[in-house]
Amino acid sequence: MAFELPDLPYAHDALASKGMSKETLEYHHDLHHKAYVDNGNKAIAGTEWENKSLEEIIKGTYDPNAVAQNGIFNNISQLWNHNQFWEMMGPNGGGAMPSELESAITDSFGSVQKFKDDFSAAGAGQFGSGWAWLVKDTDGSLKVTKTENGVNPVCFGQTALLGCDVWEHSYYIDFRNKRPAYLSNFLDNLVNWENVASRM
C-alpha cells in the first residue's frame, strides 16, 4: 500500500503570526514533503519494503557506515521526519510545558532554558542539512542530538520527542540565513509542548 501525504493538522496560514509563513508551509509541506512521499513510493515499489511500515523501512535500510545513505532510506526517513514535524508544532505553540515534561527536562538538563540552549546549539551546529532532536534514549534518559540529512532517532532505537528541521527550505523564506533565530523562534513560539509530552 502506497504512503500518502498527510494533511497539515492546521491551516497553511495558522503559524504565520508565530513566525512560519503560509508561503513556507506551501513550499515545505505541499512540495518538499510531497516529493519525499512520491519518491519514496517509487523507490520501494516492487522491493521487499513495499508493504512495510515507515519505521521498519528506516531501520532496515539505514547504513551506519555509509558516507551517503541510499535513496529508499533518504526519502522514507524524510517522509517520517516531516510527518512528526507538523504535529510537533501548532498555532497554540509556545505555551507552558506540561508539568511531567518540564520535570523530565529539568532533571535531565538542569533547567528548561539549558535544554533550549543545548537544542539550539545542536541545530545551529549541524553542518549542512539535518535535524535537531530531543530524544528519549534507550536507557530512558532525555538527550539532545543532531543528525545529518534524513537520519533520525528511529535509526538508533530512540524515541523522538521533538525534532526541528534545519534544512534551508524550512526557514529560508522567513529567516533567510539566520538559522539560530529560526531555532529560537521554533522553541519559543511554535512547539506544541502537549504533543511533545504525549511522546514520553
C-alpha–C-alpha distance, residues 199 and 179, integer Å:
26
Residue 162, pLDDT score: 99
4 domain-assigned: no
Mean pLDDT of the chain: 97
- The grid coordinates listed for 55 are 519505521
* 150-197 pLDDT, tens digit each: 999 999 999 999 999 999 999 999 999 999 999 999 999 999 999 999
Asked if pLDDT for residue 1 goes beyond 80, the answer is no
- The grid coordinates listed for 92 are 497554540
Binding residues: 28, 82, 165, 169
108 lies in the same domain as 82:
no
155 lies in the same domain as 74:
no
Residue 172, pLDDT score: 98
What percentage of the chain has pLDDT greater than the value 90?
100
Rg (CA), the chain: 16
* Counted domains in the chain: 2
Binding residues for Mn(2+): 28, 82, 165, 169
User: Does the reported pTM lie above 0.75?
Assistant: yes
- Provide the residue range defining the domain that includes 67: 20-88
C-alpha–C-alpha distance, residues 150 and 74, integer Å:
6
Q: Which of helix, strand or coil describes residue 67?
A: coil
Residue 128, pLDDT score: 96
Q: Which helix (H) or strand (E) holds 108?
A: helix 99-109
Domain end call among 44, 62, 88: 88
65 lies in the same domain as 103:
no
What percentage of the chain has pLDDT greater than the value 70?
100
3 domain-assigned: no
